[in-house]
Amino acid sequence: MADIIRLEHVRKEYDDGFVALKNINLKIESGKFYSLLGPSGSGKTTILRIIAGFSEPTQGKVLFDGQDITHLDASKRQINTVFQNYALFPHMNVYENVAFGLQLKKKDKKEIKMAVKEALHMVQLDGFAGREISELSGGQQQRVAIARALVNEPKVLLLDESLSALDKRLRKDMQFELREIQKKLGITFIFVTHDQEEALAMSDEIFVLNEGKIQQSGSPVDIYDEPVNDFVARFIGDSNILTGRMIKDYEVEFGNHRFECADAGIKPGEKVEVVLRPEDLDIVDLEKGKLRVQVESQLFLGDHFEIKAKDSDENEWLIHSTNSTEIGKQIGLYFDPEDIHVMRFGESEAEFDKRLEAYEGDEE
């Protein structure tokens, strides 16, 4: 599929000398749902602003449908933004809010009416045109903000932390609704969030950012199952991360034991980090376990128990189990070879960049 947006070697240095983005390369395909995911200050909003045209990169290019739009005015881009606080006009009703942009463009009255009606229908707010903004719930306000962007018929919709103001329940509903709207319209959504669960639930593809760099890009399953470094492994989901050593292809050592694994291509003897997800660890009888640990605490979290345990080397283990256990008990842990995710240990920045470039090249 053709790329609708590309960022090529984008660097952003603010006036005070702070470098918020370092060599960002990303490809956005038409009709998909993307998330930019990262902790506060990682550069998510800066990328969004550069795509929207509210900010220019210090170096690098922004392409839209193959055309260089790096210096094109925001109003001339086929891209619209839904902001975190929705930026709705409180003194105008729903109709007036949605119609505002088209009125500015001096569109024909009849045409505006039709477009507003259609946009409100798309976000399931038929019959709400006359309502005041103050008479709407947070979720409904969010939908007005989306309708206001949709009347402009953008090819790409940018959403900046737009669910963060909602309570947990409503947020879950809106995640589902946003995804449905995106599928129905078939336009590209780029969603900014610092919430990893949200990104995993909604996206076709996620860009994980940290300190102005894309750490990894891929489908939610790729990123969860095959984190490329310990930042991604720690940021996405809970993990057990241990240092170890590669013995040979498909064999790794950690916790003083050797294990069959699914990874190859790392030099024998090389120091590695090993990720095991808590839900991939099964509690079994001691003799059936691949490792022995002693239970230190357990917490019931509604749909599973979160168990903390220690092995004989004092490594901490986090286990998610549907069954409870006993504090102080020695238990066996079982996991399959493919549950062991091996990562190279403490790569230098240059090595990391090289590997990421090769990885991105593979996708072409």
Closest to ligand ATP by CB, 115 or 200: 200
CB-based contact 356:363 (threshold 8 Å)? no
Whether 53 and 25 have beta carbons less than 8 Å apart is answered as no
Contact 36, 28 (CB under 8 A): no
Compute the distance between CA of residue 41 and CA of residue 278 in angstroms, rounded to an integer: 28
Q: Decide if residue 194 touches ligand ATP (CB under 6 A).
A: yes
- Give the nearer residue to ligand ATP in terms of CB position, either 37 or 333: 37
Instruction: Compute the C-alpha angle 252/258/233, nearest 5°.
Output: 45
- Bridge partners, residue 292, by sequence: 332
Q: Least distance from C-beta 49 to ligand ATP, angstroms?
A: 8
CB of 191 to ligand ATP, least distance (A): 12
Q: How large is the greatest C-alpha to C-alpha distance in the chain, in angstroms?
A: 78
Under rule CB under 6 A, residue 46 binds ligand ATP = yes
Query: Cα(259)–Cα(246) distance, rounded to whole angstroms?
Result: 10
Provide, rounded to whole angstroms, the least separation between the CB of residue 322 and ligand ATP. Answer: 34
Using rule CB under 6 A, residue 44 touches ligand ATP: yes
**Smallest gap, in angstroms, from Cβ of residue 20 to ligand ATP?**
3
Our CB check for ligand ATP shows the closer of 38 and 220 to be 38
348 is an interface residue for ligand ATP by CB under 6 A? no
Tokens 């569109």 label which residue? 107
* Separation CA 162–CA 152 (nearest Å): 19
> In the complex with ligand ATP, which residue's Cβ is closer, 41 or 332?
41
Q: Least distance from C-beta 7 to ligand ATP, angstroms?
A: 14
Among positions 35, 42, 203, 240, the unique one binding ligand ATP when judged by CB under 6 A: 42
321, two tokens: 């189990």
Can you give the binding site for ligand ATP, defined by CB under 6 A? 14, 16, 18, 20, 38, 40-46, 194
